[in-house]
């Protein structure tokens, strides 16, 4: 079952910054004169391939028609949430736990999930010789960020194996929050015994670090599906600019079709986009390996979100969450129906 997480400490400050003003040029007025600038966020990760391809190939810009597109990139969910709360972006791709945190901390006011983007692509990769959870006792394992999606997944899985963890790094297994790039280096140096990370870092730990997969998170979920990335919008922006949000979703659906229909070209375009943002290009074998572990889908796999919230609560990183109302999939289903595609449930 997937784990999303509350970045309890990291989000406390952000929660106080819930937006009070609309960040767009004008409400949808149904005329050519009403031009809205959509400020869209995403991460330079393979798990955000739909977003990257949509931006780099001009799919979003074309779908938005008269409206304008301005993009911002983030390295982690908390920064994306803070940007939403401070009215610095209107919509952003992010993982499940940050979305839950934003919704819960704003008492359900600030954000709505309006589409899926990616399922799967998270693994616990360990040093050779580690074959069971018990082998991790007394060792250090990394996750991308305290309270993040993979952090919650790791802590919950360890708890299910009878191993305790603490937010401060104590317990039977010491969990060290690290940037993914740092994790690759500490793994190579033997300073950590494993890491629960998203793609492409899982593939890099295997291909470049000599690691082995101990847990494929897909094996923990029904039908192997759980939300990794979805599209979140500020509630105020959605209310003020529904036509613009619908056009943005048309771009999401077309970008999803592109990455699924022409994966070889999509991998190149996504890698170009990652290099443009980070100045570093993934090896072709890495992005190809990561791609096979991901499902790009408009479906937000809503059932996995509630379970993830429960896992975050179970490991002490979130108070009992009430996420009723976090989804608004009406516009997405209108777009899917118009495109002759299957609609999704919440």
Q: What is the pLDDT along the chain (346 residues), one digit of tens a residue?
A: 444 344 444 434 344 444 433 444 444 544 444 789 999 999 999 999 999 999 999 999 999 999 999 999 998 888 899 999 999 999 999 999 889 989 998 999 999 999 999 999 999 999 999 999 999 999 999 998 888 889 999 999 999 999 999 999 999 999 999 989 999 999 999 999 999 999 999 999 999 999 999 999 999 999 999 999 999 999 999 999 999 999 999 999 999 999 999 999 999 999 999 999 999 999 999 999 999 999 999 999 999 999 988 998 899 988 887 899 999 999 999 999 999 999 998 8
Q: Where do the CATH 3.40.190.10 domains begin and end in the chain?
A: 8-120+224-338, 122-221
Task: Look up residue 81 and give its two tokens.
Answer: 């949430």
Q: Are 192 and 176 in contact (CB under 8 A)?
A: yes
Q: So what's the pLDDT on residue 69? A: 98
pLDDT of res. 11: 38
The predicted structure's pLDDT at residue 23: 41
pLDDT score recorded for residue 168: 92
SS3 272: helix
- Which ranges of the chain does DSSP label H, i.e. alpha helix? 8-15, 49-56, 59-63, 77-85, 96-105, 149-160, 180-188, 201-207, 235-240, 242-261, 263-278, 284-291, 302-314, 330-338
Architecture in CATH of 122-221 = 3-Layer(aba) Sandwich (3.40)
Q: Are 252 and 57 in contact (CB under 8 A)?
A: no
* Whether CATH 1.10.760.10 fits 8-120+224-338: no
């Amino acid at each position: 079952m997937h784990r999303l997480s509350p970045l309890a400490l990291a989000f406390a400050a952000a929660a106080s910054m819930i937006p009070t003003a609309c960040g767009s040029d004008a409400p949808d007025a149904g005329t050519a004169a009403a031009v809205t600038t959509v400020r869209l966020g995403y991460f330079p990760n393979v798990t955000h391939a739909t977003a990257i391809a949509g931006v780099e190939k001009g799919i979003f810009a074309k779908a938005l028609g008269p409206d304008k597109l301005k993009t911002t990139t983030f390295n982690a969910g908390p920064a994306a949430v803070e940007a939403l709360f401070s009215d610095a972006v209107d919509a952003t791709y992010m993982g499940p736990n940050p979305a839950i945190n934003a919704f819960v901390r704003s008492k359900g006011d600030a954000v709505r999930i309006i589409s899926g983007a990616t399922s799967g692509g998270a693994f616990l990769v360990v040093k050779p010789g580690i074959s069971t959870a018990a082998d991790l006792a007394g060792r250090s394992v990394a996750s991308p960020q305290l309270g993040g999606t993979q952090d919650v997944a790791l802590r919950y899985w360890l708890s299910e194996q009878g191993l305790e963890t603490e937010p401060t790094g104590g317990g039977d297994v010491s969990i060290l929050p690290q940037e993914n790039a740092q994790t690759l280096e500490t793994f190579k140096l033997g300073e950590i015994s494993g890491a629960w990370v998203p793609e492409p870092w899982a593939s890099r730990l295997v291909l470049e670090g000599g690691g082995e997969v101990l847990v494929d998170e897909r094996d923990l979920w029904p039908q192997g599906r759980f939300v990794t990335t979805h599209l979140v919008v500020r509630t105020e922006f959605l209310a003020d600019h529904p036509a613009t949000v619908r056009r943005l979703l048309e771009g999401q659906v077309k970008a999803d079709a592109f990455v699924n229909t022409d994966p070889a070209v999509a991998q190149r375009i996504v890698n170009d986009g990652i290099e443009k943002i980070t100045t570093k290009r993934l090896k072709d074998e890495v992005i190809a390996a990561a791609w096979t572990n991901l499902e790009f889908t408009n479906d937000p796999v809503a059932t996995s979100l509630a379970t993830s919230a429960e896992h975050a609560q179970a490991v002490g990183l979130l108070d009992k969450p009430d996420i009723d109302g976090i989804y608004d999939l009406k516009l997405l289903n209108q777009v899917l129906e118009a495109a002759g595609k299957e609609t999704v449930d919440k």
